[in-house]
Amino acid sequence: MEEHKQEESMKHLGEEEGEEESVSESVRDLPSDAVKELLSEGVCARCIFRLFGLQGRVYASSPSLSSVSSLSATTHQLCTLCFGILQFTYYSDDTQTLLQNQNLPLLIADTVKRHAYQFHTFSLEVSIPPIILSNDNSLRSYMKTKFGSQSWFQENLHTGCISTKDALKFSLIYPLENLLECKSSMGPFRIRLTYTHTKASKGDQNRSDSAETCKRRKIEIPVGNSLENDSSDGCEFLLEKANEPCHFTFYCYRTPFYFGGRYLKYSRNVSQTCWIIDDERMGEASVEEIIGGKILQACQGDSFKFHAAGREDIDVRMLGPGRPFLVEVQNARHIPSELFVKDVERKINNMENKLVRVKNLKLVGSEGWDLMREGEAEKQKQYAALVWISRPLKDEDFQCISSHKDLKVLQRTPIRVLHRRSPLEREKIIHWMKIEAIAGSSQYFLLHLCTQAGTYIKEFVHGDLGRTHPSIGSILGCRAEILQLDVTDIKMECFLT
């Protein structure tokens, strides 16, 4: 095993030496007159590399940098093109200090390790101010005017210029791969670098005003602008000396994890989501807090969002196979394995109060939310309701209720939710109903029914002062009240079944 590691190390070292030699050759092949011109205008070595289309390890290679920098004595000034981004010179918004030529890869790696993320790969996201792109375009236009006839320009600069974003990634990725001991690849773990500059908005506005002035005067802006000629109409861009570096912040994060499953609620004093009115909690707990809180704690994330396929009132139990739900965990530090997910499910189900239970908990992709929503409009729900009517139950009532199939019901927004729902009229379907008698009671019975999603069951029983029609009360020709309600089944064909 040790010999194998040594062989891999020697192989890797040989590859790096080969790449270093290739990089040095590429740098030596750069046209010296153009390089001196750029250096004299305050362009940094890495910006020169990207203007000539060089890629890869050249940006992370100190010898290559020094070989270019030795051509000029002006290399320590702030780059007029990237404003210090590729020189690792920046104003830190976190520490409120100016940092010059810092070991940026080491700073980033230390921050990542301090936050204790678990990851197998990482990717870089970079945001830079628009003025950097404007600088690039203007300088390339000038270079085309001055060197466009030369072969190296046509082969490299005209088509192969590397963006500041990509050059920065080349500068950081290789050392970060060594420091973090993993490869760079698009994945859930991201490191985001954000650069801003005080000149950005002002410079963009000035160029916009200048372009508008040229438009009004019907003056054509030349394709190639000379840095040596100061145009009287103000339409030519001049690379100014950069006196202030970019402001820089960075942070790492993970894209959300989605946990899906079904929940059962056994208490009539537990809401689906946290319910607080006038700073007072309604109910003893919520499904959202019980399930989401346990998952969040296990993943060591920043926050979570709870999504469910519909909802039930606080006093309605959720029985049968359970209601589909998703928990979206933001910025988790731990990567959940299959064993990890089963352990979380076991912890939820073994809680002492036994208010809530989960089934079929699993890790799903971000498409889980779309799949759950797609089936929500077509799904059916089955309920069991304890009903009281104002007269004794008759034999014909059983047949009367069960004879209604796919009954269309018009429901205006219930009075009890008018304070938070729009006053609309909705058409819902009662697919089937049946009555189950209760021994020793003539005015109480169990009503079993299957309805379209979104049907207000309580209002379908008592009629809501005529706002729901027909209702159990109007069908039986008497007053009807619902005493207890349970959701017993949710038929929904999706990944959570």
Span 465-493, pLDDT tens digits: 999 999 999 999 999 999 999 998 887 65
DSSP H or E run through 35: helix 32-40
Distance of CA 177 to the CA centre of its chain: 24
Handedness of CA 316, 317, 320, 326 (dihedral sign): positive
Across 67-71, 108-112, 431-435, least confident range: 67-71
- Of 29, 94, 166, 313, the catalytic one is 313
449: alpha, beta or left, given left = phi > 0 and alpha = psi -120 to 50? beta
In the DSSP assignment, the letter for residue 125 is E
Using DSSP's 3-state secondary structure scheme, residue 22 falls into helix
In contact, 104 and 65? CB cutoff 8 Å: no
For 492, counting Cβ atoms within 10 Å of its Cβ (0-12 exposed, 13-18 middle, 19+ buried), the class is buried
Residue 143, phi then psi, degrees to nearest 5: -65, -35
Q: Are strands 257-265 and 97-99 parallel, antiparallel or unpaired?
A: unpaired
**Which pLDDT value is given to residue 494?**
54
Pick the CATH number of 380-491 from 3.30.70.3190, 3.90.660.10, 3.30.499.10, 3.40.640.10: 3.30.70.3190
According to DSSP H, which parts of 98-197 are helical? 104-114, 130-147, 151-152, 164-180
Average pLDDT, stretch 397-422? 93
pTM: 0.75
At the second CATH level, the architecture of 256-376 is: 2-Layer Sandwich (3.30)
Q: In the block, which residue shows the tokens 């046209």?
A: 31
| Catalytic site includes residue 313 | yes
- Report whether pLDDT(229) > 50: no
Beta-bridge partners for 92: 97, 248
How far from 453 is each of 294, 421, 429, CA to CA, in Å? Answer: 29, 17, 9
In this chain, the answer to whether the domains covering 256-376 and 380-491 adopt an identical fold is yes
Average pLDDT, stretch 322-326? 91
Q: Break the chain into its structural domains and give their ranges.
A: 26-253, 256-376, 380-491
Per-residue pLDDT tens for 17-41? 555 555 566 677 788 888 888 888 8
Beta-bridge partners for 357: 264
- Report whether pLDDT(128) > 90: yes
How many C-beta atoms surround the C-beta of residue 126 within 10 A?
A: 19
Of 490, 419, 403, 484, nearest to 455 by C-alpha is 490
Q: Which pair of tokens denotes residue 320? A: 């049968």
